[in-house]
């Protein structure tokens, strides 16, 4: 195989989209690890409140403490840990308690869970703790480390809690109130379906977790606490648009896209991993019209029926959605999924059939690699490819030149935005291929890009996320794929590890 290296250009790696993705990942990173707690709250709410399936006043008393205290404090602690490990998490939790107490104690502010406050106060508090520790780093006399560390964190935490109580709480409440009013205005004006014009394209750019868990979830939880349900939980999580798109490829697609679409449907609709359909959209960007139309129709259906979920559905599987559907909303929610799928299917089918002859003539018969070319054009430079990894003595290490010394590949990491959905799927596929090849002593794991530590021999990401992965793990070899479920590059990775270990057929 010929050696392939990464070419460079005047475009600085990353750019605005990478920065937006990084910020969105940070927001969603505070929520995603705590999704089980949100689901637990949703199930308790659905079962035991007055309008629940099995009303129980005693068990319903769990709802408010979890919503107002546990969930915001979990978010704050997670955000603090992301900035400054356990020490940052502790101080972040203390500071956030100041905001929570202020809003619960003032009748003007009471009734608003402080998720936004936790997302702001938590990371800031952890960052301040990190800066304070840097002042006397290496200057503490032996034997006084524990005393200084404990008291500095305690004193700073107390100060920040007081500042948050008097200073941040009114500001956060004003922002929360304004955002809630904006959403209510969209609902009252019948304009909420227009949100799909922004949400669906942003999803394809791997901002889905940031939108859902960083923006919509906090607002939706507040609505759910007030009314028992919220349509905002379904703006991003509705699997209908993706289902319709993949069905269109199943019936009217070409080549690899047509062949892989049925399997992708199972993963997307039942498994809840929406990222699986993104490459299909990227292969023909005009298909954004299909998912936008599907998303808008799904939102409109929920608005008409007044339906919603009681808590966050993550992943966006039909099973997870039905599990947290408000008891009187099943008809509207199910119809919103079916209508969204039908509209997306019709629009995508028209687009695919209209361009069928042109695609065949151009030699682009369902080759998903077209999505790679489109992404490269938008980046202004070529993505790294695995061809260099299997060449004689030349490897893409993610450096500026793309050349380096071939290294033993024993630790492979799949990385994606959240580190759960698509990366877990890709890791499972490659792990099975390596096992069938008789290769041992090679670990294949998955994690979020934000948690990359730089010790992986090989990092595999979707091509839209490779620049961010390189920044987090610059000394690793990097591989870009356009489809986590079925990439030909997996076979080339297997050949690499087989060659490393001297495994022969």
DSSP string, 415-447: EESSSSSHHHHHHHHHHHHHHHTT--S-EEEEE
Note the pLDDT of residue 420: 65
Note the pLDDT of residue 160: 95
Note the pLDDT of residue 5: 34
Percent of the chain at pLDDT above 70? 81
Band of residue 200 on the pLDDT scale cut at 50, 70, 90: confident
Helix or strand run (H / E) with residue 229: none
Least confident piece of the model among 243-247, 395-399, 459-463 = 395-399
Q: What is the mean pLDDT of residues 320-334?
A: 92
Band of residue 340 on the pLDDT scale cut at 50, 70, 90: very high
Note the pLDDT of residue 362: 60
Q: What is the mean pLDDT of residues 481-497?
A: 80
Q: What is the mean pLDDT of residues 359-371?
A: 56
Statement: residue 404 has pLDDT above 80: no
Statement: residue 332 has pLDDT above 50: yes
Q: What is the mean pLDDT of the chain?
A: 79
CA dihedral (174, 178, 181, 186) in degrees, to 10, reads -170
Residue matched to tokens 């492979």: 412
Per-residue pLDDT tens digits for 451-484: 788 888 899 988 778 888 888 888 888 888 877 7
Note the pLDDT of residue 350: 95
Q: What is the mean pLDDT of residues 339-355?
A: 94
Cα separation, 83 vs 410, in Å, equals: 29
Note the pLDDT of residue 89: 94
Note the pLDDT of residue 344: 96
- Decide: helix, strand or coil at residue 462: strand
Band of residue 502 on the pLDDT scale cut at 50, 70, 90: low
Note the pLDDT of residue 377: 39
Question: What's the distance, Cα to Cα, between the start and end of the chain in Å?
Answer: 19
Band of residue 393 on the pLDDT scale cut at 50, 70, 90: very low
Top-confidence residue, 406 or 505: 505
Statement: residue 371 has pLDDT above 60: no
Least confident piece of the model among 206-220, 330-344, 369-383, 462-476 = 369-383
Percent of the chain at pLDDT above 90? 25
- Angle formed by the axes of helices 240-252 and 330-354, to 10°? 40
Note the pLDDT of residue 365: 54
Statement: residue 398 has pLDDT above 80: no
Statement: residue 250 has pLDDT above 80: yes
- Of 208-212, 232-236, 464-468, highest mean pLDDT: 232-236
Per-residue pLDDT tens digits for 98-141: 988 887 755 544 557 788 889 889 999 999 999 998 888 777 77
Note the pLDDT of residue 164: 92
Per-residue pLDDT tens digits for 436-453: 888 878 888 888 887 788
Q: How big is the CA angle at 164 (ends 163 and 170), to the nearest 5 degrees? A: 115
Statement: residue 505 has pLDDT above 60: no
Note the pLDDT of residue 18: 66
- Known active-site residue 416: yes
Least confident piece of the model among 227-231, 405-409, 454-458, 499-503 = 405-409
DSSP tag of 345: H
Residue of 416, 465, 485, 493 marked active site: 416
Task: Give Cβ neighbours of residue 174 (< 8 Å, ≥ 6 apart).
Answer: none
């Amino acid at each position: 195989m010929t050696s392939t290296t990464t070419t460079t250009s005047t475009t600085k790696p990353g750019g605005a989209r990478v920065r937006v993705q990084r910020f969105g990942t940070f927001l969603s990173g505070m929520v995603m690890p705590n999704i089980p707690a949100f689901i637990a709250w949703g199930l308790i709410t659905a079962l035991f409140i007055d309008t629940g399936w099995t009303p129980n006043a005693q068990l319903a008393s769990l709802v408010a403490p979890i919503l107002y205290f546990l969930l915001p404090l979990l978010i704050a602690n997670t955000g603090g840990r992301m900035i400054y490990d356990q020490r940052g998490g502790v101080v972040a939790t203390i500071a956030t308690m100041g905001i929570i107490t202020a809003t619960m104690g003032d009748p003007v502010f009471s009734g608003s869970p402080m998720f936004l406050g936790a997302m702001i106060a938590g990371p800031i508090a952890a960052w301040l703790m990190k800066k304070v520790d840097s002042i006397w780093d290496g200057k503490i006399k032996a034997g006084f480390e524990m005393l200084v560390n404990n008291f500095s964190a305690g004193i700073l935490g107390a100060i920040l809690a007081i500042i948050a109580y008097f200073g941040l709480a009114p500001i956060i409440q004003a922002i929360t109130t304004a955002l809630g009013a904006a959403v209510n205005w969209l609902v009252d004006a019948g304009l909420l379906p227009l949100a799909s014009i922004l949400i669906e394209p942003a999803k394809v750019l791997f901002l889905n977790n940031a939108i859902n868990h960083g923006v919509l979830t906090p607002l939706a939880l507040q609505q759910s606490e007030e009314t028992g349900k919220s349509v905002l939980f379904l703006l991003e999580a509705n699997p209908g648009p993706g289902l319709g798109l993949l069905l269109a490829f199943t019936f009217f697609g070409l080549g690899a896209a047509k062949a892989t679409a049925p399997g992708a449907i199972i993963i997307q609709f039942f498994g809840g991993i929406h990222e699986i359909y993104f490459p299909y959209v990227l292969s023909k960007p005009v298909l954004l019209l299909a998912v936008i139309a599907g998303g808008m129709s799904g939102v409109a259906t929920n608005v008409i029926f007044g339906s919603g979920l009681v808590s966050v559905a993550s992943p966006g599987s039909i099973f997870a959605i039905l599990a947290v559907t408000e008891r009187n909303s099943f008809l509207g929610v199910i119809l919103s999924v079916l209508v969204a799928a039908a509209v997306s299917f019709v629009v995508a089918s028209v687009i695919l059939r209209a361009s069928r002859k042109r695609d065949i003539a151009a030699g682009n018969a369902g080759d998903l690699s077209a999505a790679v070319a489109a992404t490269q054009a938008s980046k202004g430079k070529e993505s790294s490819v695995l061809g260099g990894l299997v060449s004689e003595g030349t490897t893409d290490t993610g450096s500026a030149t793309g050349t380096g010394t071939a290294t033993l590949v024993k630790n492979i990491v799949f990385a994606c935005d959240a580190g759960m959905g698509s990366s877990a799927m890709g890791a499972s596929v490659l792990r099975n291929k390596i096992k069938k090849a008789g290769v041992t002593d090679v670990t294949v794991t998955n994690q979020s890009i934000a948690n990359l530590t730089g010790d992986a021999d090989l990092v595999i990401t979707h091509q839209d996320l490779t620049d961010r992965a390189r920044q987090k793990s610059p000394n690793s070899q990097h591989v870009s794929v356009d489809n986590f479920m079925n990439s030909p590059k997996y076979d080339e990775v297997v050949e690499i590890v087989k060659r490393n270990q001297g495994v022969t057929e």
